[in-house]
Amino acid sequence: MRRNRITWVTLALMSAAMVVPAVPAQAAPATSAVTQTTCPTGWGSLDKARDASATAPVRNVRTGRHTCFDRMVIDVPGAGTGTGYWVRYVKQFQQDGSGRVIPVAGGAVIEVRVMAPSYDPNTGAPTYPARPGRPLPGVDLTGYRTFRDARFGGSFEGDTQIGLGVRARLPFRVLTLTDRVVVDVAHSWTGR
């Protein structure tokens, strides 16, 4: 009988241990620190170039705002990654061929030259509906941190020229992606 009592007591204690509620784990303390985005630095502001020319014409120019930079995209469908460019800061934006100065608003001006025409090379018909000296069609720079103005220079001898007005001389990079050339201009030198 004593043996049954010990077994019963053991079973009772084991059952009680199973139904004791577990102590909840302590939650991690809440942090009040705000996560800051670290922006890339080191792009520099010197000329950037890639020697290649596309026979495919420019079809569109568009812009976008990002956390660390403002972006301009020049679409050259059919060019693949073979489009050349020359992007640089200039004192004044001058139209190829005529040398005419085209005023571009901003603290500094970047000349964006894409080695692709903005017309059909076979017919001469425009493929991008911009007019020299005028703002880029469909591009609204309201609210941008860095971009101030974008003017079409023209298309001369197979190159398309754009004047990009920016807040100040800031670091930039140029990327050639499939069917487009991308120009990113940083919001600051410090990566914030």
Show the tokens assigned to 124: 């001469």
**Residue type for position 172:** F
What average pLDDT does this structure show over 82-106?
Answer: 95
Query: Is residue 8 in some structural domain?
Result: no
Show the tokens assigned to 101: 């100065």
Per mean pLDDT, which range of 10-24, 68-82, 108-122, 163-177 is the poorest? 10-24
d(CA 68, CA 5): 75
Per-residue confidence band for 164, with pLDDT thresholds at 50, 70 and 90: very high
Mean pLDDT of the chain: 85
Contact indicator for 68, 40 with CB cutoff of 8 Å = yes
pLDDT attached to residue 64 = 97
Tell me the sheet residues that pair with 120.
Answer: none
User: ∠ CA 181-132-155 to the nearest 5 degrees?
Assistant: 50
Query: Is residue 142 in some structural domain?
Result: yes
The answer to whether residue 192 scores a pLDDT higher than 70 is no
pLDDT attached to residue 34 = 55
pLDDT attached to residue 11 = 44
pLDDT attached to residue 82 = 87
Contact indicator for 72, 164 with CB cutoff of 8 Å = yes
State pLDDT tens for residues 95-133: 988 899 999 999 999 999 999 999 998 999 999 999 999
d(CA 83, CA 79): 6
d(CA 92, CA 115): 20
Query: Is residue 54 in some structural domain?
Result: yes
pLDDT attached to residue 22 = 43
Contact indicator for 68, 39 with CB cutoff of 8 Å = yes
At 10, give phi and psi (nearest 5°).
-65, -45
Query: Is residue 1 in some structural domain?
Result: no
Query: Is residue 169 in some structural domain?
Result: yes
Domain that holds residue 121: 48-186
Mention every residue, 6+ apart, whose C-beta is less than 8 A from residue 45: 89, 169, 170, 171, 172
State pLDDT tens for residues 18-64: 444 444 444 444 444 555 678 877 899 999 999 987 789 999 999 99
The answer to whether residue 9 scores a pLDDT higher than 90 is no
Residue 61 CA from chain centroid, whole number: 13
- The DSSP letter of residue 10 is H
Top-confidence residue, 164 or 24 = 164
Query: Is residue 39 in some structural domain?
Result: no
Q: Kindly report the CATH number assigned to the domain that includes residue 91.
A: 2.60.40.3500
Which percentage of the chain shows pLDDT scores above 90?
Answer: 69
Please identify which residue in the block is written with the tokens 């298309």. Answer: 155
Per mean pLDDT, which range of 1-5, 22-26, 162-166 is the poorest? 22-26
Show the tokens assigned to 1: 């009988």
pLDDT attached to residue 178 = 92
Query: Is residue 30 in some structural domain?
Result: no
Count of structural domains, the chain: 1
Nearest CA to 185 out of 45, 37, 51, 83 is that of 45
Top-confidence residue, 154 or 53 = 154
Per-residue confidence band for 179, with pLDDT thresholds at 50, 70 and 90: very high
d(CA 128, CA 118): 5
Query: Is residue 75 in some structural domain?
Result: yes
